[in-house]
């Protein structure tokens, strides 16, 4: 099973991502664009793992999530990876992300204890697109792109499976852990 852990967003975030995608396409950026219903903030991408390892992840989620209170994130920064050279991913990020950083650190600590390895540094972001080609003056286009920041509430963490199809990824909820409370499943 190909899985990842994420925070779900809201309709306003999906609408903003779609709006920015349209602006990038009109400015001759070429790439693959996440479908509107697939917009999320990935915490950890695990790739292909078996059911036993998936259960270990669920236990970690259920252990950490109740200790972390609900919080809100404001997507107010446009960025890209890698930071030098041509962009491969364009994203919306957040400043004042102390709560999501804390959630990441707590999860990462326990994941490492159970043989999952992730980086210490985490850049919380929502992917706008995976870029395959850019126009001349792409840096200026990105720096002058106008959008209104959007805030969304985080009250749970999701474990999702991802199936790749010719029309894009299809996500299925595997498990949901409520922040600051008990877990619940679909």
- The tokens of 103 are what? 């959630």
Q: Which of 40, 156, 175, 183 is catalytic?
A: 40
Phi, psi of 14 (to 5 degrees): -60, -40
* d(C-alpha 104, C-alpha 61), whole Å: 11
Residue with tokens 């917009």: 39
Please give the DSSP secondary-structure letter assigned to residue 136: T
Percentages (nearest 5) of helix, strand, coil residues in the chain: 30, 40, 30
Out of 125, 156, 175, 183, the active site residue is: 125
In our burial notation (b when 16+ CB lie closer than 10 A, e otherwise), range 65-97 reads beebeebebebeebebeeeeeebeebbbbbeeb
Q: Between vectors from CA 169 to CA 6 and to CA 114, what angle results, nearest 5°?
A: 40
125 in active site? yes
- Cα 186 to Cα 181: distance, rounded to the nearest angstrom: 16
DSSP category for residue 184? B
As annotated, the active-site residues are: 40, 125
């Amino acid at each position: 099973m190909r899985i990842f852990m994420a925070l779900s967003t809201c309709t306003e975030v999906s609408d903003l991502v779609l709006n920015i995608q349209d602006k990038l396409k009109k400015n001759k950026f070429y790439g693959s664009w996440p479908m509107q219903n697939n917009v999320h903030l990935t915490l950890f991408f695990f790739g292909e793992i078996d059911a036993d390892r998936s259960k270990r992840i669920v236990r970690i989620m259920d252990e950490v999530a109740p200790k972390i209170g609900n919080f809100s994130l404001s997507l107010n920064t446009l960025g890209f990876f890698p930071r030098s050279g041509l962009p491969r991913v364009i994203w919306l990020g957040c400043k004042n992300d102390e709560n999501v950083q804390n959630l990441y650190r707590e999860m990462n600590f326990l994941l490492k204890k159970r043989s999952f390895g992730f980086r210490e540094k985490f850049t919380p972001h929502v992917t706008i697109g995976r870029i395959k080609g850019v126009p001349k003056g792409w840096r200026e286009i990105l720096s002058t792109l106008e959008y209104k920041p959007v805030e969304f509430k985080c009250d749970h963490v999701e474990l999702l499976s991802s199936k790749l199809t010719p029309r894009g990824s299809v996500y299925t909820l595997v498990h949901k852990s409520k922040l600051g409370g008990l877990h619940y499943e679909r």
